[in-house]
């Protein structure tokens, strides 16, 4: 696996030095929650209409084979650090196993050293305790909900402000809560635009990390957005889900219009990424893929990835095998940031700049690992080593669903079977052997870095405590001693 790091670092060095002489762009990264690859009309969805995202798609370099993690916190950790989520200690989305390892260097930290203002708006989901919050991980401006979603609460530290819904949510803003007005997605985009304008007025390059919690469940949607699909889909859940995406689409359009009106369009890179495989929308369209969120199938990890910088990148499609771990080195190179030795050692991804400039640029083969994780608390990871995992290169994908301490490998040829329907392991034993050996090496390298597995659960969600301290209310001391968190549980 180290050889892949050296290739990735060499590509980063070349592109960073090549680009450092140019003016670094402002950067806006938009990442949605549980919107699948198929949940865009530009990707063939027969019912959902996303005209503004299609507009961004048409103006972008599009990575059509872009891999993320099977669930949300893992993807965010990999995107912000340039390495696999397990190496950041993240093997779940709750139970303290969603916390980004304290030693990890984040993209925001690196961009800040290059003179960028850094702001996050929406979903963080990499630790709610004070030491793990984004203001400690390189973000100057913090405007987030807690937990994995607005209103969520789980045993331990992962939880949002009490009583929150997608309408008028209480939002953690630079150390205290503010009570907002409006629908959550509108609120996050509005606040991000306000902050962007302030940075532009000050003449400072900015990185805006705009992470919606929509269209993740619970399916709380503006009635007028749900009405757009009420008579076009087979059930109410899908109408709500598509309505939430329609609202995201509207906000993306307003953002793009605003950048143009403020004369920021040509100075700003806009990146749009989805965070894992599809969910509710897969019952309508899954782009021919097998599986969805929470599975190691391609339908669980293939994501949209659009990169638009007018006047710098020529729109088009790139078919090379790319991934979320490539975002960190790409944006660091664009910013002209210099990585210290520790950060260079951390980053496994490659700069995408060669492909952004030329879709046919050389791109050496690589392996990318998927593991769903999420094993029960208190059990050994070794017992789950081969359950719900996969490893791939440009052509082949090796998947084990039912394995545990022994694999149950299936092999798929992505060139002729991108939907992973025909197991060809028996016909290609050498490919199975090569990828299996690479997986073993990855596991051996990764296993010591699972630092959250035995972490004790916090007695109380810290953001709830902060909210109650600020506004009053909350359980009594006696109640705290006998608190049963199960009564607060909400769906992930």
What whole-number distance in Å separates Cα of residue 184 and Cα of residue 170?
10
Q: Which fold has domain 368-449?
A: Arylsulfatase, C-terminal domain (3.30.1120)
Considering the domain delimited by 2-357, tell me its CATH architecture. Answer: 3-Layer(aba) Sandwich (3.40)
Residue 20 predicted with pLDDT over 80: no
- Check: CB of residue 469 under 8 Å from CB of residue 168: no
What whole-number distance in Å separates Cα of residue 251 and Cα of residue 52?
8
Q: Is the dihedral of CA 489, 490, 491, 492 positive or negative?
A: negative
What whole-number distance in Å separates Cα of residue 299 and Cα of residue 374?
18
> CA angle at residue 198 from 197 to 204, to 5 degrees?
100
* pTM, rounded to two decimals: 0.94
Residue 21 predicted with pLDDT over 70: no
Predicted pLDDT of residue 490: 40
Quickly tell me which residue has 């401006």 as its tokens: 141
What whole-number distance in Å separates Cα of residue 401 and Cα of residue 382?
15
Digit-coded pLDDT (tens) for 67-97 = 999 999 999 999 999 999 999 999 999 999 9
The mean pLDDT of 16-35, rounded to a whole number, is: 81
Residue 259: asked if its preceding bond is cis (omega within 30°), the reply is no
- Please name the residues in contact with 358: beta carbons below 8 A apart, sequence gap of 6 or more: none
Per domain, the residue ranges of the chain are: 2-357, 368-449
Least Cα distance to 409 among 381, 383, 389 occurs for 389
Let me know how many helices (H) and strands (E) the chain has, helices first.
14, 17
Residue 314 predicted with pLDDT over 90: yes
Question: What does the block give as tokens for 227?
Answer: 């009405």
Digit-coded pLDDT (tens) for 334-390 = 999 999 999 999 999 999 999 999 999 999 999 999 999 999 999 999 999 999 999
Predicted pLDDT of residue 6: 46
Q: What is the DSSP letter of 426?
A: G
What whole-number distance in Å separates Cα of residue 169 and Cα of residue 408?
45
> CA angle at residue 325 from 124 to 198, to 5 degrees?
45
């Amino acid at each position: 696996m180290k050889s892949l790091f050296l290739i990735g670092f060499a590509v980063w060095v070349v592109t960073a030095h090549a680009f450092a002489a140019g003016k670094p762009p402002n950067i806006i990264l938009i990442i949605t929650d549980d919107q699948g690859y198929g949940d865009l009309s530009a990707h063939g969805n027969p019912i959902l209409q996303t005209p503004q995202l299609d507009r961004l798609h048409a103006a972008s370099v599009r990575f059509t084979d872009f891999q993320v993690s099977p669930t949300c916190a893992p993807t965010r950790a990999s995107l912000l650090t340039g390495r696999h989520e397990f190496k950041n200690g993240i093997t779940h989305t709750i139970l303290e196993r969603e916390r980004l390892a304290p030693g990890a260097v984040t993209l925001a930290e690196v961009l800040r050293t290059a003179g960028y203002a850094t702001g996050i708006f929406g979903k963080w989901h990499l630790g709610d305790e004070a030491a793990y919050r984004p203001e400690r991980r390189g973000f100057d401006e913090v405007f987030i909900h807690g937990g994995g979603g607005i209103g969520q609460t789980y045993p331990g530290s992962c939880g949002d402000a009490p009583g929150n819904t997608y309408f008028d949510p209480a939002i953690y803003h630079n150390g205290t809560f503010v009570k907002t007005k409006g629908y959550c997605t509108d609120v996050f985009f509005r606040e991000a635009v306000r902050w962007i304008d302030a940075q532009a007025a000050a003449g400072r390059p900015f990185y805006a990390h705009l992470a919606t919690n929509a269209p993740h469940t619970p399916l709380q949607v503006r009635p007028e957005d749900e009405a757009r699909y009420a008579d076009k889909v087979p059930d109410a859940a899908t109408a709500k889900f598509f309505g939430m995406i329609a609202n995201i689409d509207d906000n993306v359009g307003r953002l793009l219009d605003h950048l143009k009106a403020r004369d920021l369009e040509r100075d700003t890179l806009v990146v749009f990424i989805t965070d894992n495989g599809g969910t509710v929308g897969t019952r309508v369209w899954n782009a021919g893929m097998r599986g969805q969120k929470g599975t190691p199938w391609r339908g669980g990890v293939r994501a949209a990835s659009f990169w638009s910088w007018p006047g710098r990148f020529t729109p088009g499609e790139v078919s090379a095998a790319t991934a979320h771990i490539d975002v960190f080195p790409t944006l660091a190179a664009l910013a002209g940031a210099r990585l210290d030795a520790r950060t260079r050692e951390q980053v496994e991804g490659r700069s995408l700049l060669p492909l952004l400039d030329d879709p046919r640029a050389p791109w050496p083969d690589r392996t990318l690992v998927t593991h769903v994780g999420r094993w029960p608390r208190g059990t050994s990871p070794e017992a789950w080593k081969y359950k719900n995992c996969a490893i791939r290169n440009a052509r082949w994908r090796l998947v084990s669903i039912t394995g545990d301490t022994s694999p149950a490998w299936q092999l798929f040829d992505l060139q002729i079977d991108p939907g992973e329907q025909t197991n060809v392991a028996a016909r290609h034993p050498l490919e199975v052997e090569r990828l299996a050996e690479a997986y073993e090496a990855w596991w051996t390298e990764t296993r010591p870095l699972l630092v959250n597995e035995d972490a004790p659960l916090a007695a109380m969600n810290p953001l709830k405590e902060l909210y109650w301290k600020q506004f009053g209310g909350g359980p009594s001391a006696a109640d705290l001693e006998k608190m049963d968190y199960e009564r607060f549980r909400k769906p992930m």
